[in-house]
Amino acid sequence: MSTDILLDVQNVTRRFGGLVANSDVSVEVRRGEILGLIGPNGAGKSTLFNLIAGAFPPNEGSIRFEGQDIARLSGPARCRLGIARTFQVPRSFDSMSVLDNVMVGAFAKEPGSAAARRVAYETLAFCGLQQRAPAPAGELTPPEKRRLEVARALATKPKLLLLDEVMTGLTPSEARLGVELVRKVRDQGVTVVMVEHVMEIVMPLVDRAVVLNLGKVLAEGKPRDVVRDDAVITAYLGERHRAA
Ligand SMILES: Nc1ncnc2c1ncn2[C@@H]1O[C@H](COP(=O)(O)OP(=O)(O)OP(=O)(O)O)[C@@H](O)[C@H]1O
């Protein structure tokens, strides 16, 4: 395996009863890239995130991170190796302060509370949330909550960050700030895989895109090629993209 492959998912299948949510999916994630994972609702994008982050194991196939087989490791063990994720629906602890929420992430790598607090403050500043550190997380606005999700994941000091629809519901100016944050994360040396539905946001941002449809990889490549792919237009993007 080439060392520039950080994450190597090969021939992964995940079933839920009779439903095949991921079917023979292979995706390679290169170190330092921003990879977009796109596709219609129910295509299997979150399932693939869950498989990578360790929410459940695959029924078949292999998942290797820096060459190590991680398919049977727990979520916390994968977090310690350097895989972090956000959730589609933010999962903050609303009665805890914003700072304490981020400290929960920081404790993954920093057992001492003084060091974890320092990491949490640095991460909040990086994400533009430092002013909100003492506020209860439940008082954050929806875009701030999405930032908090990112901050909590970043505080674990990941090598690979999985972003699940962090731009959903943002106004165009909030989304621009979100794009800036994702670029900054990558510039820090963190590899990013992001699920997004808004093509105008995701396509200019990502280096490559993988399209899932009905649990299978339908296409992958440079964004400009993927948006012109006939199968992708038919299954997901719609006809207005054919003229583009
Ligand atoms: N834990 C689960 N138990 C049973 N079925 C599941 C589970 N997780 C996902 N599924 C099913 O697997 C299929 C793929 O779902 P998944 O959430 O991965 O798609 P998605 O591409 O992330 O969709 P969306 O864009 O709507 O979030 C769906 O039919 C979904 O209902």
pLDDT (0 to 100) of residue 55: 94
> Are residues 112 and 179 both part of a single domain?
no
Q: Is 22's C-beta closer than 6 angstroms to any atom of ligand 1?
A: no
Number of domain units in the chain: 2
43 ligand 1 Cβ < 6 A = yes
182 contacts 194 by C-beta, under 8 angstroms: yes
Q: Binning pLDDT at 50, 70 and 90, where does residue 3 land?
A: low
Residue carrying the six token digits 């194991």: 57
The CB of 54 under 6 Å from ligand 1? The reply is no
Contact 83, 154 (CB under 8 A): no
Same domain for 101 and 195, yes or no, is: no
Dist. CA 68 → ligand 1 center (Å) = 27
Which residue CA neighbors atom 28 of ligand 1 most closely?
42
- Is the pLDDT at 244 greater than 70? The verdict is no
Instruction: Choose the residue to mutate in 9, 14, 16, 197 for probing ligand 1, maximizing ligand atoms within 8 Å of C-beta.
Output: 16
31 and 151 in one domain?
no
Whether residues 207 and 102 share a domain: the answer is no
Interatomic CA distance for residues 38 and 87, integer angstroms: 16
Which is higher by pLDDT, 161 or 234? 161
Q: Output the pLDDT for position 1.
A: 47
Task: Answer positive or negative: Cα dihedral of 47, 53, 55, 60.
Answer: positive
Cβ of 218 less than 6 Å from ligand 1? no
Residue ID of nearest Cα to ligand 1 atom 24: 41
Tell whether ligand 1 has an atom less than 6 A from the beta carbon of residue 32. no
State how far the Cα of 180 lies from the Cα of 165, in Å rounded to an integer. Answer: 15
Predicted pLDDT of residue 91? 78
In this structure, is residue 73 part of a structural domain?
Answer: yes
Report which DSSP code applies to 191: E
- The residue written with tokens 């994008």 in the block is 45
Q: What would the pLDDT profile of 40-90 be if each residue is shown by its tens digit?
A: 999 999 999 999 999 999 999 999 999 999 999 999 999 999 999 998 776
Are 5 and 29 part of one and the same domain? yes
137 Cβ below 6 A of ligand 1: no
Same-domain check for residues 173 and 62: yes
Domain assignment of residue 99, given as a range: 92-157
**Which tens digit of pLDDT belongs to each residue from 97-111?**
999 999 999 998 888
- At residue 2, the pLDDT reads 52
Between strands 216-221 and 83-85, the pairing is unpaired
Ligand 1 neighbour 210 (Cβ under 6 A): no
Task: Please indicate, yes or no, whether residues 168 and 181 belong to a single structural domain of this protein.
Answer: yes
Residue 87 lies in a domain: no
Do 98 and 69 share a structural domain? no
Could you tell me the pTM of the whole model? 0.94
- Ligand 1 within 6 A of 21 CB? yes
Same domain, 44 and 149: no
Q: What is the mean predicted confidence (pLDDT) over 171-196?
A: 94
Same domain, residue pair 150 and 168: no
Q: From residue 22, how far is each of 51, 52, 197, 228, 243 by CA, in Å?
A: 10, 12, 19, 24, 31
Angle, CA 7 vertex, CA 5 and CA 12 arms, to 5° = 125
Q: Which of 10, 18, 13 is nearest to 58 (CA)?
A: 13
Atom 3 (ligand 1): residue with closest C-alpha?
16
Q: Both 126 and 172 in a single domain?
A: no
Report yes or no on 108 lying in a domain: yes
CATH of the domain at 3: 3.40.50.300
Final residue belonging to a domain, choices 107, 142, 157: 157
ipTM of the modeled complex: 0.96
Whether the pLDDT of residue 24 is over 80: the answer is: yes
Domain-ending residue, one of 157, 172, 194: 157
Quick one: 77 and 3 in the same domain? yes
Strand partners of residue 147: none
